Amino acid sequence: MKKYQFIILWLCIFFAFPGYSQNIQGNIYEINEQKHKVPIPGANVYWKNTTIGGFSNPEGIFNIDAPESFPATLVVSFIGYQTDSLVVNSFTNQTIEIELKKNVELKAFELTERESSTKIDLISPHLIETLGKEEFQKAACCNISESFETNASVDVNFTDAVSGTKKIQMLGLDGIYTQIQSENLPMIRGLSSAYGLTFVPGTWAESIQIKKGAGSVVNGFESITGQINVELLKPDEAENIFVNIYGNEKGRAELNLHAAQQLSNHWSTMTFAHVSNQSVEWDGNNDSFLDMPLKTQYNLFNRWKYVGEKRVAQFGIKGVYEDMKAGQISSTETNRLYSIGVETKQMELFSKNGFLFPEQPYKSIGIINNFKYHQHLSNYGDKKFNAQQYSAYLNTIYQTIIGSTDHKIKMGGGFQFDRYNKNYNDSLFGREEVVPGIFTEYSYTNDKTALVLGARGDYHNLYGAFFTPRLHYKYNFTPLSAIRFSVGRGFRTANPFIENAGVMASSRKVLTGKLNPEIAWNYGTSITHKFEWFEKEISTNLDYYFTDFQNQVVVDMENPDEISFYNLQGKSYSHSLQAELGIQITQQLELRLAYKWYDIKTDYLSGLKSKPLVPTNRAFLNLAYITNFDKWKFDLTGQWFDVSRLPSTATNPIEYQIATQSQAFITVNGQVTRAFKRIEFYVGVENLTNFKQSNPIIAANDPFGSNFDASLIWGSVNGRIIYGGLRYKFKKL
């Protein structure tokens, strides 16, 4: 596959550097409440009475071909802002500064435009899908792992039939191959792989950016299938007071409190608090096991922000404590109860410093770092896994231009430290990883083309030096259509016990040896197009990604008596195809449809086989309707899952054997919200069809026997769940 990398590289270079022509550059921005310039990306720019046009990039900068003659009128427009124009009398090499102002002429009760809660970027060379706060509220999400339920790009699945924990997948592969960050700081890695997404309440998030394919080398070397970056609420922009109260019929209750305060023109602070509890026992399928765990979580986060003329800084502290208990309610054939207990303690300190150069706005220096401690204590019946992780992260980034703002370069260095102390049953093991590295990333942009070439070199104290190249290319056929290509290499070290914690809920023997780092190449392409048809706004996206592992830690469950972790001996790959359609039927009604196809295969010791528990085909539908003045909001999400391969249980006794493939099934979630001036009430339902995987636990009547297995989960283990709650928001004018 390496030859394709060079083909793509030459194609990108060919398209990226067309013949030179005179062009005029400008900067489009607005002035915020703090009197700072905020760039406006995606603004339309064109010469009046001509077909020459373009749009601004993520920094608000545009390049447009000079008109055939002067003087000429340059028109700038963007939804929600007043259209501006200016007369250019002659060609100029100086940057034109254009300030747009919010459209204050709109009547307070006139609805003219409503942005979609999920958007695909047409400007970035990366394929980026952004989920806004409105998207999270569609499902009254309680934590980040549940906030993807209304999104087609990220799959959400249960890890096992007893812990109730959900995991995500991207491009058909587990979330461990996706680099998950919070404001470009590491969020989910190491011991947080199993439960970390449940430690970030959905109400804390301002937006989530989903990048498919190899990510930027600036953020590290671990991204293989993509990047997910969670932007949290900022203290100088969020509501002064926010309260969210949630409860469902199964006894789950949650409380989220946010308080933000602007202390001065420069300083602001914000505190987040979260408490959740599940104290009611439920066993809907009468297998003597809890359908959902008993759980208590306390979560506290305090952050500060400083904004100055030459410096922007953020820092904060987070703390999480969670106690989860699951397992049998009552024993059947044994006197002992099979119990599961997981206790988590996590503490994090972080800081971000940006140094600005007002006279050279294209130049900046960024320094970000965090320190994290994570303790994980768990037991699954007679199995015990206890571990501690100490991590430190540092990333320094210098950004400037080469000649003009068309050519930008980022360079810097990073450092990642991880120390693991682990104990599985009576075995003590651990490791210490020290990885310093340097990187550089060049980008070229004009009104139609964007090219990013990145490379980084790192040195791992256990595995030596390694190189990470990445390339992203985008070409706009029109301002509303883009084609992209990407290729990149990813490198990561595995923590198989915690990354496959669901398998602990079984009697399988765990077999492992010396494991090498996982290395893979990811190749991708996509076409995005937006247009109007019969006055309906329509957006389409088609993407295809191929992931090719050079080495992988194979998780082999083909023998029902054991789970084996070993280095790849042969090939392992993933093909992922997704087609998505969005239609703004009216200003109030939006429809999104998607279809996904996966072909994921790995060479196991028993031969080349499809990845188990992953459906080959999936379909997605979301309907959202909002009445005038946003008083009522209705949302409905349906998903269809095709059959998936199940690991063999042929050597089990007949009564403990299961089929070789799952069932196809449909799930439906819905929610209704009634909004008032400062308060919203919502009610909803999860799994409206009440579909449940029948007998999800093998040998539930003998959990300490040799055939017990609660890890082969392909569908919901909970039935229909009705919930309700309220949100209160207050912000000073």
**Of 69-73, 296-300, 470-474, 588-592, where does mean pLDDT reach its minimum?**
69-73
With cut-offs at 50, 70 and 90, classify the pLDDT of residue 8.
very low
- Verify that 396 and 532 share a domain, yes or no: yes
- Verify that 194 and 77 share a domain, yes or no: no
Complete DSSP assignment for 133-190: HHHHHTTT-SSGGGTTTT-SSEEEEES-SSS--EEEEETTEEGGGEEEEETTEEEE-G
Instruction: Please provide residue 650's backbone torsions phi and psi, each rounded to the nearest 5 degrees.
Output: -65, -25
Give yes or no for residue 6 having a pLDDT over 70. Answer: no
**Of 15-19, 90-94, 650-654, highest mean pLDDT:** 650-654
* Mean pLDDT across 376-389: 94
- Verify that 379 and 440 share a domain, yes or no: yes
Q: Which residue has the higher pLDDT, 730 or 90?
A: 730
Could you tell me the maximum CA-CA distance found in the chain, to the nearest angstrom? 92
pLDDT at 111: 36
* Mean pLDDT across 54-69: 80
In degrees, to the nearest 5, what angle opens at C-alpha 645 toward C-alphas 622 and 654? 125
In the three-class reduction of DSSP (H, G, I as helix; E, B as strand; rest coil), residue 591 is classed as strand
* Mean pLDDT across 607-624: 96
Give yes or no for residue 703 having a pLDDT over 50. Answer: yes
Residue 111 lies in a domain: no
Task: Answer with the one of 69, 99, 129 that is the final residue of a domain.
Answer: 99
* Mean pLDDT across 438-446: 95
pLDDT at 333: 57
Q: Which amino acid is at 42?
A: G
Strand order in the sheet with 173-174: 154-158, 166-170, 173-174
Residue 396 lies in a domain: yes
Sign of dihedral through CA atoms 531, 532, 537, 543? Answer: negative
- Verify that 471 and 600 share a domain, yes or no: yes
Q: Which residue has the higher pLDDT, 336 or 668?
A: 668
Cβ neighbour number for residue 242 with a 10 Å cutoff: 21
Task: Answer with the one of 99, 130, 160 that is the final residue of a domain.
Answer: 99
* Mean pLDDT across 541-551: 97
Cβ neighbour number for residue 494 with a 10 Å cutoff: 19
Number of helices (H), then strands (E), belonging to the chain: the values are 3, 43
pLDDT in tens, 359-369: 888 899 999 99
With cut-offs at 50, 70 and 90, classify the pLDDT of residue 208.
very high
Looking at the chain, the whole-number percentage of residues with pLDDT higher than 90 is: 65
What distance in Å separates the CA atoms of residue 499 and residue 496, rounded to the nearest whole number? 5
Identify which of 515, 493, 524, 435 has the alpha carbon closest to the alpha carbon of residue 128: 524
In degrees, to the nearest 5, what angle opens at C-alpha 620 toward C-alphas 619 and 622? 160
**Of 14-28, 95-109, 293-307, where does mean pLDDT reach its minimum?**
14-28
Residue 275 lies in a domain: yes
Give yes or no for residue 115 having a pLDDT over 80. Answer: no
**Of 17-21, 474-478, 532-536, highest mean pLDDT:** 474-478
Element (H, E) at 497: helix 496-499
On average, the pLDDT of the chain sits at: 89
* Contact yes or no for 229/183 (Cβ under 8 A): yes
**Of 352-361, 590-599, 667-676, where does mean pLDDT reach its minimum?**
352-361
Q: Which amino acid is at 155?
A: D
**Of 76-85, 389-398, 700-709, 717-726, highest mean pLDDT:** 389-398
Residue 112 lies in a domain: no
- Verify that 677 and 540 share a domain, yes or no: yes
Give yes or no for residue 526 having a pLDDT over 50. Answer: yes
**Of 93-97, 539-543, 570-574, where does mean pLDDT reach its minimum?**
93-97
With cut-offs at 50, 70 and 90, classify the pLDDT of residue 20.
very low
**Of 6-15, 52-61, 117-126, 178-187, where does mean pLDDT reach its minimum?**
6-15
Q: Give long-range contacts, CB 8 A cutoff, 24+ apart: 164-168.
A: 164/291, 164/292, 164/293, 164/295, 164/326, 164/717, 164/718, 165/194, 165/195, 165/198, 165/501, 165/502, 166/197, 166/198, 167/194, 167/197, 168/197
Check residue 338 and report its DSSP letter.
-
Provide the number of structural domains found in the chain.
2
Give yes or no for residue 253 having a pLDDT over 90. Answer: yes
What distance in Å separates the CA atoms of residue 442 and residue 416, rounded to the nearest whole number? 23
What distance in Å separates the CA atoms of residue 567 and residue 445, rounded to the nearest whole number? 41
Cβ neighbour number for residue 405 with a 10 Å cutoff: 18
Residue 109 lies in a domain: no
pLDDT at 696: 92
In this structure, what token pair is assigned to residue 273?
A: 């608090």
- Verify that 260 and 383 share a domain, yes or no: yes
In the three-class reduction of DSSP (H, G, I as helix; E, B as strand; rest coil), residue 161 is classed as coil
- Verify that 137 and 58 share a domain, yes or no: no
Task: Answer with the one of 51, 71, 99 that is the final residue of a domain.
Answer: 99
* Mean pLDDT across 317-344: 87
- Verify that 73 and 141 share a domain, yes or no: no
Cis status of the peptide bond prior to 71, with omega within 30 of 0: yes
> Any idea which residue has 């990561």 for tokens?
492
Q: Which residue has the higher pLDDT, 210 or 60?
A: 210
- Verify that 88 and 154 share a domain, yes or no: no
**Of 44-48, 444-448, 593-597, where does mean pLDDT reach its minimum?**
44-48
Residue 374 CB-half CA count within 13 A: 24
pLDDT at 142: 74
Q: Indicate which CATH number applies to the domain containing 542.
A: 2.40.170.20
The whole-model pTM stands at 0.85
**Of 101-115, 207-221, 316-330, 590-604, where does mean pLDDT reach its minimum?**
101-115
What distance in Å separates the CA atoms of residue 496 and residue 713, rounded to the nearest whole number? 18
In this structure, what token pair is assigned to residue 584?
A: 């703004």
Give yes or no for residue 176 having a pLDDT over 70. Answer: yes
- Verify that 453 and 586 share a domain, yes or no: yes
Instruction: Please provide residue 694's backbone torsions phi and psi, each rounded to the nearest 5 degrees.
Output: -75, 140
Residue 644 lies in a domain: yes
Pairing status of strand 178-182 against strand 226-232: parallel
In this structure, what token pair is assigned to residue 155?
A: 């799959």
pLDDT at 109: 35
Q: Indicate which CATH number applies to the domain containing 72.
A: 2.60.40.1120
* Contact yes or no for 632/615 (Cβ under 8 A): no
Q: Which residue has the higher pLDDT, 696 or 42?
A: 696
- Verify that 127 and 89 share a domain, yes or no: no
- Verify that 146 and 95 share a domain, yes or no: no
pLDDT at 18: 40
What distance in Å separates the CA atoms of residue 673 and residue 680, rounded to the nearest whole number? 7
Domain, as residue range, for 185: 118-730
Residue 95 lies in a domain: yes
Give yes or no for residue 140 having a pLDDT over 70. Answer: no
With cut-offs at 50, 70 and 90, classify the pLDDT of residue 511.
very high
pLDDT at 467: 97
Sign of dihedral through CA atoms 657, 660, 665, 671? Answer: positive
Residue 476 CB-half CA count within 13 A: 22
Residue 35 lies in a domain: yes
pLDDT at 222: 95
In degrees, to the nearest 5, what angle opens at C-alpha 344 toward C-alphas 305 and 202? 50
Per-residue burial over 4-17, b = 16 or more CB atoms within 10 Å of its CB, e = otherwise:
eeeebbeebeebbe
